[in-house]
Amino acid sequence: MSQPSNEPSFRESVDMMFNRAVALMELPPGLEEKIRVCNATYTVRFGVRLRGQIKTFTGYRSVHSEHMEPVKGGIRFSLGVNQDEVEALAALMTYKCSLVEAPFGGSKGGLCIDPREYEEHELELITRRFAYELIKRDLINPAQNVPAPDMGTGEREMAWIADQYKRMNTTDINGVACVTGKPINAGGIQGRTEATGRGVQYALHAFFRDPEGLKKAGMVGALKGKRVIVQGLGNVGYHAAKFLSEEDGCKVTCVIEYNGSVTNDDGLDIEALKQHITETGGPDGFTGGTFHKDGTHLLEKECDILIPAALEGVINLSNANNIKASLIIEAANGPVTAGADEILRDKGVVIIPDMYANAGGVTVSYFEWVKNLSHIRFGRMQRRQEEARHQLVVDELERLSSDSGIGWQLSPNFKDKYLRGADELELVRSGLDDTMRNAYLSMADVWHSRGDVTDLRTAAYLVSIGKVAASYRAKGL
Ligand code: GLU
């Protein structure tokens, strides 16, 4: 969906939301601007010999804030990539990392390319060449700038980037930490692929534990049974929709893709739909629901929770008034424009903002980076020791029960669960859940306690900018 031309650009939209929040803060003169502006954007144009000719590509890496290093943020492969977009996304990374206490500044990268037009070996050549350009300028470096997947990239691209870095820095013992979102066999961590979608699920759990928040959204009851619309069944949308429908009992009544949509008021089978899309290229022909050629108007369909998990700017001045959802959770970065945000606020729609809602990805990236720097998998030292200690308790309970003649039996289900030490995936999920709960509480505290803060986005900015400002102050700025 194209954004109406009377709306500000994505970066201006982020700046407007930032300005709205800092107007409520007392920052030292000039610090506000220092935090808002993007420190640097590097543009590179490079040629790759493909199909008998040299093809030139344009890429960017923006560094928004270096109040903490390394700086962190994904690399996007999309034809829509431009400097404005990359800078907006880099700014959001600063605020996101600060809010969830991932110790990074914000950065983002992008390459103008439609990855679907290229064969795998061609994409490898292009990715390695782009990585080479960034690595030689320390724009990929475990101590300075650590990319990750974003739209159009995944663990395959991250493995190529890590390998490229290793080739150019053969003696860097921490080289594998130069990028996150790698496959397990190339230094990745369990649970990174699902992390952003999992984070969306944990964010909703946190919201549904907040009675005051629910009241503000005019919602009642539990997450179970809520009708959900998801836009975008890519990595984030797919995992969020899958976990919400399979584990939380939500009904995903509509999935909107760029090439068509499907609706089913009884709830869609997300796994089957994803499989159909992977096999055939789109939702057309899926038998588990009604197909619609164009989907964007379905953002306006009746539902409880709307999850935009695709592009920025999809909820804008042209459709904000027609949105029926009580709750919007921004799984994508920047899906609601500043203008739409105002309309939705006036309508009483609660928006769980991107910088919080999709922070699961960078949170687990942080865990992966720590794992890489410590050169050991999480749980490797403790797991069996933990199991042995739990076994002691179980043995003792069973001995007491039989010695005293009471004859209690521990249920096999309890024993199974209690005796199992946590593996890496469980630890990652626990760390992510803890992060999402704490960040929610910090936002909600501001949202519910300050009369001048009427929405979660402003609350998120206040918490996040407060932390960035504190770290500038600590540096003597
Ligand atoms: N691209 C993701 C984001 O927008 C992940 C960034 C990361 O893991 O560094 O948050």
- How large is the C-alpha radius of gyration of the chain? 23
| Averaged pLDDT score across all residues of the chain | 96
- The answer to whether residues 161 and 299 belong to one domain is no
Query: Is 11 part of a structural domain of the chain?
Result: no
Q: Which residue among 93, 95, 139, 146 has the greatest number of ligand 1 atoms within 8 angstroms of its CB, and so is best to mutate?
A: 93
Residues 80 and 60 in one domain: yes
Q: Is the confidence at residue 5, as pLDDT, over 70? A: no
Neighbours of 172 (CB within 10 A): 15
Beta strand extents in 51-135 (DSSP E only): 53-65, 71-72, 75-77, 105-111
**Does 177 map to a domain?**
yes
Instruction: Tell me the pLDDT band of 339, cut-offs 50, 70 and 90.
Output: very high
Among the three residues 406, 421, 436, which one is the final residue of a domain in this structure? 421
Cβ–ligand 1 contact at 180 (below 6 Å)? yes
Considering the domain boundaries, does residue 115 fall inside one?
yes
Binding site membership of 235 for ligand 1 (Cβ less than 6 Å): no
139-161 pLDDT per residue, tens: 999 999 999 999 999 999 999 99
Report whether pLDDT(445) > 50: yes
With 0-12 CB in 10 A as exposed, 13-18 as middle and 19+ as buried, what is 114?
exposed
Ligand 1 atom with the smallest distance to the CA of 362 is 8
Domain with residue 258: its CATH number is 3.40.50.720
- Whether 3 shows a pLDDT value over 90: the answer reads no
pTM of the model: 0.96
**331 and 387 fall within a common domain:** no
Which of 56, 108, 51, 47 has its CA nearest to residue 82?
108
Residue 44 has pLDDT above 50, yes or no: yes
Distance (angstroms) between ligand 1 centre and the Cα of 150 equals 6
Q: Are 215 and 314 found together in one domain?
A: yes
C-beta separation of 251 from 289 below 8 A: no
Both tokens of residue 209?
Answer: 């534990």
In this prediction, residue 1 carries a pLDDT of 45
Q: 63-77: per-residue pLDDT in tens?
A: 999 999 999 999 999
The stretch 265-284 carries a mean pLDDT of 97
Half-sphere exposure of residue 393: CA atoms within 13 angstroms, side-chain side: 11
Which helix (H) or strand (E) segment holds residue 413: the answer is helix 412-419
Of ligand 1's listed atoms, the one at least distance from the Cα of 146 is 9
In a domain, 151, yes or no: yes
Range of the domain at 305: 195-360
The CA distance from 88 to 448, in Å, is: 28
Do 243 and 147 belong together in one domain?
Answer: no
Q: Structurally, how many domains does the chain consist of?
A: 3
Residues 267 and 295 in one domain: yes
Which residue lies with its CA nearest to atom 8 of ligand 1?
362
CB 83 within 8 A of CB 111: no
Question: Which of 55, 72, 96, 108 does the annotation list as catalytic?
Answer: 108
User: 349 and 392: one domain?
Assistant: no
Check whether residue 316 and residue 212 sit in a common domain: yes
Span from the CA of 79 to the centroid of ligand 1 (angstroms) = 19
Examine residue 70 and say whether the peptide bond preceding it is cis (omega within 30 degrees of 0): yes
Choosing from 171, 188, 205, the residue where a domain stops is: 188
Assess if residue 134 is contained within a domain: yes
Specify the ligand 1 atom closest to the Cα of 358. 10
Q: Which residue CA neighbors atom 7 of ligand 1 most closely?
A: 362
User: How do residues 397-434 score in pLDDT, each as one tens digit?
Assistant: 999 999 999 988 999 999 999 999 999 999 999 999 99
Cα-based angle 198, 439, 39 (whole degrees, multiple of 5): 95
The token pair that represents 14 in the structure block = 């982020």
Q: Which long-range contacts (CB under 8 A, 24 or more apart) does 267-273 make?
A: 268/241, 270/233, 270/238, 270/241, 270/242, 270/245, 270/246, 271/242, 271/246, 273/233
184 part of a folded domain: yes
User: DSSP string spanning 163-211?
Assistant: HHHHHH-TT-TTGGGGSSS--GGGT--TTSTTHHHHHHHHHHHHHHT-H
- Active site includes 301? no
**What is the rounded CA–CA span in Å between residue 366 and residue 364?**
5
C-alpha–C-alpha distance, residues 98 and 467, integer Å:
6
Instruction: Please state, in angstroms and as integers, the Cα–Cα distance from residue 301 to each residue in 39, 61, 255, 324, 473, following that order.
Output: 41, 37, 11, 6, 47
Which residue matches tokens 């974003």?
150
CATH number at residue 57: 3.40.50.10860
Going by the DSSP 8-state scheme, the letter that residue 155 receives in this structure is H
Which residues in 56-88 are b (16+ Cβ under 10 Å) and which e?
A: ebbbbbbbbbbbbbbbbbbbbbbeebbeebbbb
Which amino acid does the sequence have at 62? S
Q: Are residues 205 and 115 in the same domain?
A: no
Looking at the DSSP bridge assignments, the partners of residue 45 are: 58
Domain boundary among 161, 188, 215: 188
Tens of pLDDT along 390-405? Answer: 999 999 999 999 999 9
pLDDT in the model for residue 4: 59
* 372 in any annotated domain: no
Domain co-membership, 332 together with 210 = yes
Please report, for residues 57, 141, 186, 368, the alpha-carbon distance to residue 166 in angstroms, rounded to integers and kept in the order given.
23, 10, 11, 17
Residues 220 and 283 in one domain: yes
Two structure tokens written together for 273? 């739909």
Q: Are residues 183 and 114 in the same domain?
A: yes
Query: Would residue 365 count as lying in a domain?
Result: no
